Structure 1
């Protein structure tokens, strides 16, 4: 009896009307009934659409995140660099107002900041997930020296104080690509952030997959595949990997918003992306400097960050419940 048959029978025992459906269809059926999950998925897709269509939005809106409109047009900023109009300069021309000091359009900064943050977080999530799959499943299935080496590597990396590691090693990683006496290009900063977050971002999922693989490798369908002469690679690809899709998807939905906030924190501390690159974290850093005189500027990046993180976490909970037929809502 295959693993998918066992899973399908378990679901059928819990859910009426599940006969004749594949595990993927059952998962989708449960997810569609979860209103919170569907709404969260729509919110998440909206943020990704904004990031993907940022150039189109800029063209339709008629502005970009780099032009200093406060310097090109008189009367927009006062002598202290703050918007003259109330509420941070919000009007029909500048929907979210102007950035204090530079006069840049806040709406376009936020749109391109979302694009930058999501690109970094998505790249790190993909790399971390692939690393965790390879090392976690290899440790659990191969065992022996491989398991001991990978497990000790995970323990070592998890012992690092992550925030201090991020702050300390980002400049070091950047110097591997450019001369430290020269100004670091934006693409080098982005690559450095991705590498540092990836280096310490895969261990939790790797440990989860190792434990799941340890419990699966003694199951009957794996033993049957071994007896039939299947190679280790085929067993991992055909028997083990399909049975750990659930923890992979669930953990990935928790990892991505975590990487978004971590990358924003690095920019806030001044070691991530810096001026003039639009970024969520850089907007928070500017807001922390001007909030006494312009509290409006902090509102838009703060609210958007909270909505995105909450929606992604709720989506992760809904995916976990959809995969687990024993969950009672």
Structure 2
């Protein structure tokens, strides 16, 4: 059997998804980035197990249990932020908590919020973007103007302004806001103001697809609009949807961290990436080590996820130039 015949035989029966997976596996950068991303998700998912194996509780103030770990100014007595065989990443200034446990649970919190927002934003973009592109007319006009209105908001400013307002819808503003209310408020605000870019992308892709022959053939055969959207349009917009989602998730991670850094997101005693950055900004002159581990973790995660998005895009469309 000739080499051309062997190649042809290998390609027979392969779906676009299988071909995409094969191209992705050949991309070493994409595979390594995917492994790094999976590692972060595994750390977040297994945070209680890691804490149990490590023997530290994220809420415990070790300075109260073992006097002498912090000096009179609230900083670790031992050099390099208190890093030793017992506290691998050192101790948190003032509170005396273990940095590694705080970081592990902070990754868990940030990834949960970002993943929830990404799923909600993607579903919203699918419903409104594809509906606007397929129906056209007044529906397209109203949805497009709604997207334009939301995109006109300066997101970062409105994130900070809307979070306290949303939180007051759940609890009395005179009472302390529970952690779950803060989490729900962050998810709602980021979701409402975070789906529009993907919605526009899906609308444009649907406008290009609805005039194609296979869609016209489905209309002639008597298929309902719901069936056409589900069977003909949705499978053909998976590529831009998945690629954009890989860019949205790390963006939501950094945005949620920024809100906690500014004091309107998660607060004490909930472990969070942004809250660790806020503490690091206060103590960097006296304890630079504390900022090192959460900063490196955030940079590695965001870079790995962005590289993964590039690899996924190239795997779906090998003709694009990186």
Q: How many residues align?
A: 315
User: Paired residue for 2:280?
Assistant: 287
2:97 alignment counterpart? 104
Give 1:297's aligned residue: 290
Q: Alpha-carbon deviation of 1:77?
A: 0.2
1:114-160 CA distances to partner (integer Å, 9 max, x unpaired)?
00000000000000000000000000000111000000000000000
1:235: which partner in 2? 228
Q: Distance in 1 between matches of 2:192 and 2:94?
A: 36
Deviations 1:239-265 (A, max 9, x none): 000000001100000000000000000
2:184 pairs with 1:200: no
Unaligned runs of 5+ in 2: 1-6
State the alpha-carbon separation in 2 of the partners of residues 108 and 165 from structure 1: 32
CA distance in 1, matches of 2:292, 2:122: 33
Structure 2 Cα separation of the partners of residues 256 and 74 of structure 1: 41
Q: Distance in 2 between matches of 1:54 and 1:20?
A: 42
Q: 1:62 to 1:168 in 2, by over 3 A?
A: same
Local SS of the residue matching 1:180 = coil
1:121 aligns with 2:114: yes
Q: Give the alignment partner of residue 155 of structure 1, picking from 145, 148, 151.
A: 148
- Residue 263 of structure 1, aligned match among 253, 256, 262: 256
**1:145 aligns to 2:138 (yes or no):** yes
Structure 1 residue 23 corresponds to structure 2 residue 34: no
The answer to whether the aligner puts 1:135 opposite 2:128 as a matched pair is yes
C-alpha deviations, 1:74-125, integer Å up to 9, x for none? 1100000000000000001001000000000000000000000000000000
Deviations 1:245-304 (A, max 9, x none): 001100000000000000000000000000110000000000000000000000000000
State how far apart, in whole Å, the 1-side matches of 2:270 and 2:306 are.
27
Give unmatched runs, 5+ long, in structure 1. 1-14
Cross-structure match for 2:4: none
- Aligned equivalent of 1:47, options 35, 40, 43: 40
Q: Secondary structure at the match of 2:222?
A: coil
SS in 1 for 2:103: helix
CA distance in 2, matches of 1:63, 1:135: 46
Alignment RMSD (CA, Å): 1.1
Question: For each residue in 1:18-77, what CA deviation from the matched residue of structure 2 results, as whole angstroms up to 9, or x when unmatched?
Answer: 444210110000000000000000000000000000000011011111100012111100
Question: Is the partner of 2:97 in helix, strand or coil?
Answer: coil
Instruction: State the 1:328 CA deviation.
Output: 5.8
TM-score using structure 2 length: 0.96
Partner residue, 1:5: none
**Matched residue, 2:247:** 254
Runs of 4+ in 1 over 3 A off after TM superposition: 15-20
Q: Which residue of 303, 315, 322 maps to 1:322?
A: 315
Provide the secondary structure at the position in 2 that maps to 1:93.
coil
Aligned to 1:213: 206
Instruction: Provide the TM-score with structure 1 as the length reference.
Output: 0.94
For the residue of structure 1 that corresponds to 2:216, the secondary structure is: helix
